[in-house]
Amino acid sequence: MVFQLPALPYWYDALEPIIDSETMHIHHEKHHQAYLNNLNAVLAGTPYETRTIEDLLLKLDHLTGKIYTAVRNHWWWYYNHNLFWTGMTPGGAPLSAEFQQILVDNFGSLEQLQQLFSAAALWQFGSGRAWIVVTDDYGLEIVSTPNQDNPLTDGRRPILGLDVWEHAYYLRYQNRRADYIQWWWSIVDWREVESRYRG
Ligand code: MN3
């Protein structure tokens, strides 16, 4: 195995009742693991097996066929989920005064930020994600991406991402994506988001 499934930084039931334990088990142990297995299976026995993923991504233009598809799709899927898990913490973690000011400077107010982000997550057609991203000039923007895509491919660095694939919420919220998004704000780990921003 080239890449391993990282352990969650909290118990599977720790985000209850916002995200239920069964959803977390299936999402982490089945969905996340499956894409990782697919990536590893394609890389096994090839010269790429011993490369770091950063190296593979830098060489993405030179990869072809199955290797290109595996890295392009499965790696982002894997990477996006790592960001997602570590962007949440039981009960949430509060904003520092400094980072709150940075968010207000960029979005006008915290309410405005949440409205923009929630709308991006809600109106992302089908599967995908909403993000807060850092632009080249250290500004902050809200974007959404379809399927497994990640804003890094457009040069924008994600610091918070919300998974709105149905597997992320369907057991508890069924078709009520808006409710899932609204509740999810209460488990965001703003300390982690700030550290990514400053990263
Ligand atoms: Mn997912």
Distance 14 CA to ligand 1 centre (A): 17
Is the model's pTM score more than 0.75?
yes
**CB-based contacts of 106, cutoff 8 Å, min separation 6:** 113, 139, 140, 141
Average pLDDT of every residue of the chain: 93
Distance 169 CA to ligand 1 centre (A): 9
**Stretch 152-160: mean pLDDT, rounded?**
90
Distance 29 CA to ligand 1 centre (A): 11
Digit-coded pLDDT (tens) for 163-182: 999 999 999 999 999 999 99
Distance 21 CA to ligand 1 centre (A): 14
Name the residue among 108, 113, 109, 111 with its Cα closest to residue 133: 113
**Stretch 68-77: mean pLDDT, rounded?**
84
What confidence score (pLDDT) does residue 114 get? Answer: 98
Report residues near ion ligand 1: CB below 5 Å: 163, 165, 168
pLDDT range class, residue 50, cuts 50, 70, 90? confident
Asked if 54 and 62 touch (Cβ cutoff 8 Å), the reply is no
Distance 98 CA to ligand 1 centre (A): 31
Name the residue among 4, 5, 149 with its Cα closest to residue 80: 149
What confidence score (pLDDT) does residue 109 get? Answer: 98
Distance 127 CA to ligand 1 centre (A): 9
What confidence score (pLDDT) does residue 68 get? Answer: 87
